Amino acid sequence: MLLFLITLLIVSGFLIHYLDLNSLKGKSGEKLVAERLEIIDGHKHILNNIMINDNGKSRQIDHIAITKYGIFVIETKNFNGDIYGKETSDTWKQYINNKCFKFKNPIHQNYGHLEIVKKHVGDITTEIYSVIAFIRRCRLHVDTVTPVVYEDQLAMFIKSRNSVLSEEKIDKIYKIITENQITDEQIIKEHKENVQKYVEYKNKLIDQEICPRCYGKLIKRI
């Protein structure tokens, strides 16, 4: 009995650490990425943790960097361990101490964010990019076309591109995006609750090896 209770406490502690503190890790990761983006040279606007209206629906985006190098829609991940994934995989995998945890492909996750930004400002510029930024607490083993970088590489990656946007266009894009920003606290709260419910639902399907897109048998890919 004593051994059972000790094991239960260890397992419970691990789950609390991994699940309950994920949101706190995410917030600290987003703060670090926000700081990295501020060092980009030239005229710019950095929007962090912004919620945008999408035809009556809401989209929460970690970061939008509007710079002379283009617009960068950034999804931040603050994971540790070893991360494995491919561009087209439905899920990626995180390995910690020989334990495997699956999470939604962040490229797919950021695709909807990218499209809503294009919908609002795509007539001003086509230089709009999706970027996935991992905090350097993990080791990346990914095969992607979409840029997947460590957070300390983010500013250098952005600055490696050619200057394409004038200050006038940067300000115009910023104005359009912020005009479509959702600031109502009740809507923001409901959005977070709905996202959490949706994530839990999809995770249940994945655990049952059911594809959350077509509801067929899940084909596992790394």
pTM over 0.85: no
Structure-model confidence comparison of residues 81 and 57, the more confident one: 81
pLDDT, tens only, 147-157? 999 999 999 99
Question: Which pLDDT does position 183 carry in this prediction?
Answer: 77
Question: Which pLDDT does position 155 carry in this prediction?
Answer: 96
Whether the per-residue pLDDT at 107 is higher than 50: the answer is yes
Whether the per-residue pLDDT at 71 is higher than 50: the answer is yes
Contact predicate 125/173, CB 8 Å: yes
Residue 81's Cβ-count burial label (10 Å; 0-12, 13-18, 19+) is: middle
Contact predicate 176/120, CB 8 Å: yes
Structural element, H or E, at residue 50: strand 45-54
Whether the per-residue pLDDT at 115 is higher than 60: the answer is yes
Whether the per-residue pLDDT at 120 is higher than 70: the answer is yes
Sheet containing 57-67: give its strands across: 45-54, 57-67, 70-77, 128-134, 148-150
Whether the per-residue pLDDT at 88 is higher than 90: the answer is yes
User: What amino acid is encoded at 67 in this protein?
Assistant: T
Structure-model confidence comparison of residues 10 and 87, the more confident one: 87
Q: Mean pLDDT across the stretch 185-214?
A: 60
pLDDT, tens only, 129-183? 999 999 999 999 999 999 999 999 999 999 999 999 999 999 999 999 999 998 7
User: What amino acid is encoded at 69 in this protein?
Assistant: Y
Q: Helices 106-121 and 167-179: crossing angle, nearest 10°?
A: 110
pLDDT, tens only, 1-60? 544 444 444 444 444 444 444 444 556 889 999 999 999 999 999 999 999 988 877 889
